[in-house]
Amino acid sequence: RKSSWLFKVALLFVWPAFVIIGTGHWLSLLLCWRPRWPKVIREAGLPGKPVPPVTTLGDYPPAIQARLLANADRWQLKPGKRPAKKPRKRSAPQQANESD
Average pLDDT across the chain, whole number: 81
Q: Kindly report, residue by residue over 39-73, the tens digit of the pLDDT.
A: 888 888 888 887 777 888 888 999 999 998 888 77
Overall pTM > 0.85: no
Count CB atoms within 10 A of the CB of residue 99.
4
pLDDT at site 1: 63
Q: What is the DSSP letter of 2?
A: -
Q: Rounded to an integer, what distance in angstroms lies between the CA atom of residue 19 and that of residue 26?
A: 10
